[in-house]
């Protein structure tokens, strides 16, 4: 991965414009810090009508809103809503609120994620699986019906952006070892290897986006669904990593890392790129399917991709019966 990040471009293009964002409504998860904060701030500055800062900690969310309001000279665009992705009930409550309170929804940027060095559980699964994958796609399927209706009512093309990572493609060997039952497999990772649950969860995100996009083409779902890799960025994501790993990543940050603001441009690209990005892996504000290794996209991969999605669907349907069917109908 070092060779990959050492060549990543900096000062990325700014694809989002006032023309593409003015009057729109956005949800950004994990918007109180890092990439999510910077993306939300840009959207407010670009003339969005409403930007929902979806955060686990309301005090942190209100602090972020104050910074955004000060930086952009606004007070009534950024809005703080509670969303705890470690709780299915919180996800369902958030989605119901979006249904009832938001007139329209132009894009959802699912940025929130966790990386941990301990075997912490939530909703019966290791935390990165619950937060990064299961709750991320629960929120997606709960919001897709509204996004489809809004597309038809307002003549817009909503985007569902799932923030993933190319580090998932370093997980070929671990993935091969758990792909027959990946949810059980990732939950059962040895304690000393628990940090790999983050990149494995990101591989699951990429594969799940690809499967969902296949099941819901734009012509049917009216929503562009894509996966964005922001690259190596200087954020707080590594705060829970073991000391040796944290030191190694910090050195990479200093040598090659993007600032959070630079990295946030990749999230905005996902929210403005068109139908051609549907189901694709985006990197450095471009469609970069060439970065997806053959083992993750060949016919054999598609079989296991579907298998993974079916297992996720089984979990989501237990949490909220009928939610996936409603999203896909």
Residue 60 CA to residue 163 CA, distance in Å, equals 21
Counting every residue written for the chain, the total comes to 329
Active site residue 291: no
Q: Check: pTM over 0.85? Answer yes or no.
A: yes
User: In the β-sheet with 107-110, what is the strand arrangement from edge to edge?
Assistant: 78-82, 50-55, 25-29, 107-110, 159-163, 224-229, 281-283, 286-287
Catalytic residue among 49, 50, 146, 198: 198
Name residues whose C-beta falls within 8 Å of residue 47's C-beta, 6 or more positions apart in sequence: 18, 21, 22, 23
Kindly give the parts of the chain with pLDDT less than 50.
Answer: 1-3, 246
Q: What SS3 class is residue 202?
A: helix
Catalytic residue among 41, 50, 146, 202: 202
Query: What would the pLDDT profile of 2-45 be if each residue is shown by its tens digit?
Result: 446 668 999 999 999 999 999 999 999 999 999 999 999 999 99
Contact 194, 123 (CB under 8 A): no
Contact 30, 236 (CB under 8 A): no
List of domains in the chain: 20-328 (3.40.50.720)
Residue 229 CA to residue 320 CA, distance in Å, equals 29
Residue 225 CA to residue 160 CA, distance in Å, equals 5
Residue 283 burial (CB count, 10 A): 25
Residue 83 CA to residue 139 CA, distance in Å, equals 10
Active site residue 202: yes
pLDDT at 6: 67
Residue 179, burial from CB neighbour count under 10 angstroms (0-12, 13-18, 19+): middle
Q: Count H helices and E strands in the chain, helices first.
A: 15, 10
pLDDT at 2: 46
């Amino acid at each position: 991965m070092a060779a990959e990040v050492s060549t990543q471009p900096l000062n990325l293009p700014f694809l989002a414009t006032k023309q593409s964002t003015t009057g729109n409504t956005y949800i950004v998860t994990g918007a109180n810090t890092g990439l999510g904060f910077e993306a939300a701030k840009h959207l407010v500055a670009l003339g969005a009508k409403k930007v929902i800062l979806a955060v686990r900690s309301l005090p942190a969310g209100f602090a972020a809103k104050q910074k955004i309001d000060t930086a952009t000279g606004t007070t009534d665009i950024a809005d703080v809503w509670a969303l705890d992705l470690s709780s299915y009930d919180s996800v369902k409550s958030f989605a119901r609120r979006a249904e009832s309170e938001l007139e329209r929804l132009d894009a959802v940027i699912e940025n929130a994620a966790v990386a941990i060095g301990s075997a912490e559980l939530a909703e019966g699964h290791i935390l990165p699986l619950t937060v990064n994958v299961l709750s991320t796609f629960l929120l997606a399927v709960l919001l897709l019906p509204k996004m489809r209706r809004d597309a038809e009512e307002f003549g817009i093309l909503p985007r569902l952006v799932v923030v993933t990572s190319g580090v998932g493609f370093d997980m070929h060997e671990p993935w091969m070892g758990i792909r027959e039952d990946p949810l059980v497999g990732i939950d059962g990772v040895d304690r000393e290897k628990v940090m790999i649950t983050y990149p494995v969860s990101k591989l699951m995100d990429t594969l799940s986006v690809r499967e969902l996009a296949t099941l819901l083409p734009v012509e049917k779902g009216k929503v562009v669904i894509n996966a964005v890799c922001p690259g190596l960025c200087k954020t707080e994501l590594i705060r829970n990593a073991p000391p040796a790993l944290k030191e190694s990543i910090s050195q990479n940050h200093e040598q090659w890392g993007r600032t959070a603001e630079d990295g946030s441009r990749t999230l905005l690209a996902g929210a403005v790129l068109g139908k051609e990005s549907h189901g694709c892996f985006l990197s450095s504000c471009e469609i970069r399917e060439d970065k997806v290794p053959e083992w993750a996209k060949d016919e054999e991969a598609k079989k296991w991709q579907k298998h993974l999605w079916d297992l996720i669907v089984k979990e989501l349907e237990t949490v909220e019966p009928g939610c996936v069917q409603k999203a896909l109908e």
